[in-house]
Amino acid sequence: MDQAIQPIQPKHFLTIGQLIKNTWQTYKVRFKTLIAINLVGTILVLAIIFGFIGGAVLSTGNVKAQSNPFFWILIVIGFVGSVYVALWSEAAILKASLDFNETFGSAYKNSKNKVGAIFLTSFISGLIVMVGFILLIVPGLIFLTWYSLAVLIVMAEGQTSLDAIKRSKEYVKGYTGPVMIRYALIFVLLWLANLVVNIIFGKQLGQVINTVVNLIFSPFAILYTIEIYKNLKDIKNQPPLAEFDPFPKQTLQ
């Protein structure tokens, strides 16, 4: 079992530096498992897309392809299959990020029953956020921040989709601006990293390298979100994570 350093979690909103420090401590411990899940999930999704959708195009290979039922059957299977595997991999990486007892195999096995809940939660919260962006940019960003923890709550607390969405807003409420800023920093850092890679290596080679960068960075972003979630949960005097909490709370000395 992985052994992790246990950072102190005081009852105030952690600074960006503290969040990054705590995230880095976890990332170092869980790096291999999380990268393996992310890599395998990505490969499987790409294999399904190229296998079914690519096969549909190659098998019909003419201008009348869209009138061929076999073409659409392969397209639908490829789309549904890739979405399912992507959601399953998301559930697995969240499971492994929350529970340090999870291995690569057990994370996939123990998260399979959460795929439907994650899909429904993502779909509902996505619609809400989309409506916000249709209204104006600011409401969209606010909704995006409010409901950013919903999928995580489904995995960590076993809540239903609607309850997880409501609870996400409750956790973030009162800290919308600070949480938004903390998310924005991570996205800006990734954007800058991708920009520097493109400048140094050029657009074509840069795209390949950035794919690897994003593959490595995405588990860090998930762990960073978990740190925000745990901090807000503590501030709102909610019971700490038990089974899933790799960092038991400590009191300040």
**Cα-flanking dihedrals φ and ψ of residue 122, to 5°?**
-65, -40
- Checking if the pLDDT of 226 tops 90, the result is yes
Q: If you average pLDDT over every residue of the chain, what do you get?
A: 84
- Checking if the pLDDT of 69 tops 60, the result is yes
SS3 percent helix, strand, coil of the chain, rounded to 5, is: 80, 0, 20
Which of the two residues, 124 and 101, has the higher pLDDT score? Answer: 124
Q: Which residue shows structure tokens 């998930």?
A: 222
Q: How far apart are CA 11 and CA 20, in angstroms?
A: 17
pLDDT in tens, 43-63: 999 898 888 777 766 666 555
Q: How far apart are CA 183 and CA 147, in angstroms?
A: 13
Position 127 confidence tier, pLDDT thresholds 50, 70, 90: very high
pTM score of the predicted model: 0.81
Please choose, from the candidates 33, 88, 85, 47, the residue with its C-alpha nearest in 3D space to the C-alpha of residue 219: 33
Least confident of 51-60, 122-131, 241-250: 241-250
Q: How far apart are CA 95 and CA 97, in angstroms?
A: 5
Give the pLDDT of residue 243. 43
Least confident of 64-68, 154-158, 179-183, 225-229: 64-68
